Every structure is written in structure tokens, then in C-alpha cells.
Amino acid sequence: MRRVSEGIMLSSTKCGDGKMVVNVYTREEGKRGFLVRLPSSSAGKGRMKASFFFPLSQIEATFSEPRQGQDLAYLNDVKVVYAYREMYTDIRKSSVACFLAEVMGRCILQSEQDIRFYDTVATALRQFDARHQDIADFHLFFLLSMAESLGFYPQEAGHFTDIYFDMREGRFVSTPPAYEDFLAPEVACDLSLLLQVRRRIRNAFPEITLFDSRRRQALLMALAAYCRIQTGIAGNFRSLDILREVFQ
């Protein structure tokens, strides 16, 4: 039986024999992997355009559940539910899209439904695509929103002496821990500012630019490391260097 779900494209990998494996964050079932048969005819290519599989494409996926002995469901049809205007033509936005798609694909480990987070992300990406200014800090707010959904949102500082941030415990502390997974006062202060702005404006993705390039780079590296530590994934994000270069 075929099923239909909205989804956000995370990654695609060709695997030979005219097939491709794609990872999609679906609205109803969380992260799912699908097997796609790449069409050879021109008519078939119209149903499976390459642009459908760009990072963060918002699609409607029609799929068949895997048969016995198979691991992946087959993706039968794809439709775009929202056509971005600048996401793939603006180098800044496309680099953000590649980074966020990689982060979501690696950090979201379980196939659990979170409709609220899905709707928040889908709406935020559309707003980001439409923005013409104040986009430089969007990915920082996005990482916080993802951390909130996955259960490791940083606790705000409880006292003015809490000038370090413990990345293992996810909270501010007054003295540095015995291990290296912590943020020194300068970067910890900027993280505290980011948390305060998000809470006070009551908007997960405010149209605001808080940091200069140097501070943004440091905070981006810190949040990326925090996400890796909290989810237990190994290795850095491959798209991180490109993103840093673009917003240098």
C-alpha cells in the first residue's frame, strides 16, 4: 500500500544500478530513508527531477513500505510543495541549506514524529528563503531550535558568576570542568546572549544580526561541537568549512 507524507530532503546518494538512497525528514514519521529508482525515460525524469533532491527541498513523498527482507521503502513519486526563490541561487543561503541538511541528517537519529518541530522548520526555511537581510545568524538560531526538539537545549545561566559553559552537561557553570568540553567566557557570553534574545523576542528565528564575523564563527564552531557531543556523533560536519568561508 502506498503512503503519502510531506518531507524535507536531507541527503541523496547514488548507489549504482540506476538507484539512489535519500534521507528525508518527514512530517508524520521523523527521519526516513528511501530507495529511488532513477528513471531513464524523459517522461520519468519529469517525475523525479534532480531539483527535488536538493538539500532542504520541501516535498510531498509517495512511497511504498519495504517488502520482507528489504530495509528501505521505495519512493514512488515526489512533488515540490514549496518552491524556494533564492535558496539555491544565493551562495549564502545555499551554504546554510547544505550545512543544516547535514546537521539534521546526522543529529536526528531516531524515526520519531515531531510535527511541531517539522512545521517550525518548514515555516522558518520559507521565511529564510524570502529574507533579503539579517540572514547571517539564522543557522545559529536553527541549531538552538533543533537542540530544543532533541532534548538538549542549553540551560540559561542562573548567576552572573556562571561564565563558563559545560558542553557535556548543557549548562553554565562558575568554574571550568576538568575536561576540555567547555566554552571559555567570551564564547559562553555570546551563547548566553543568543539564548536571551531567543527567549525575550519569543521568536525561534528572529530577523536580527547579533554578531560580527569573528564572534559568529566562534559561536558556530561551539554550537556545532555541542550538537556533536550531545548526540554522540563522531567527526566534524563536512559542510561547516564552506559555511564559515562564505560568512567570513
Which CATH number covers residue 57? 2.40.50.140
The pLDDT, as a whole number, for residue 47 is 61
- Among 83, 109, 132, the domain-final residue is 83
Whether the Cβ atoms of residue 188 and residue 163 lie closer than 8 Å to each other? yes
The verdict on 121 and 239 lying in the same domain is yes
The pLDDT, as a whole number, for residue 67 is 76
Give the position of cell 538560531: 141
pTM of the model: 0.90
- Among 83, 105, 126, the domain-final residue is 83
The verdict on 125 and 220 lying in the same domain is yes
Specify the 3-state DSSP secondary structure of 120.
helix
**Distances from the Cα of 32 to the Cα of 35, 71, 79, 104, 175, angstroms:** 10, 11, 17, 12, 42
Strand partners, 37: 19
Indicate the number of domains in the chain: 2
Helix (H) or strand (E) holding 16: strand 2-16
What is the CATH number for 112? 1.20.1440.120
The verdict on 145 and 218 lying in the same domain is yes
Question: Which residues lie below 8 Å from residue 153, measured CB to CB, with a gap of 6+?
Answer: 144, 147, 170
pLDDT by residue for the chain (248 residues), tens only, comes to 788 999 999 999 988 778 899 999 999 989 999 999 877 655 555 566 778 899 999 999 998 887 776 778 888 899 999 999 999 999 999 999 999 999 999 999 877 789 999 999 999 999 999 998 899 999 999 999 999 999 999 999 989 999 999 999 999 999 999 999 999 999 999 999 999 999 988 777 888 899 999 999 999 999 999 999 999 998 899 999 999 888 87
Give the position of cell 547579533: 210
The verdict on 197 and 218 lying in the same domain is yes
The verdict on 43 and 134 lying in the same domain is no
CA angle 74, 116, 31 (to 5 degrees): 25
Three cell numbers, residue 9? 530532503
- Among 37, 53, 83, the domain-final residue is 83
Angle, nearest 10°, between helix axes 185-201 and 213-231? 90
The verdict on 191 and 70 lying in the same domain is no
The pLDDT, as a whole number, for residue 45 is 53
Q: Which domain holds residue 35?
A: 1-83
The verdict on 101 and 55 lying in the same domain is no
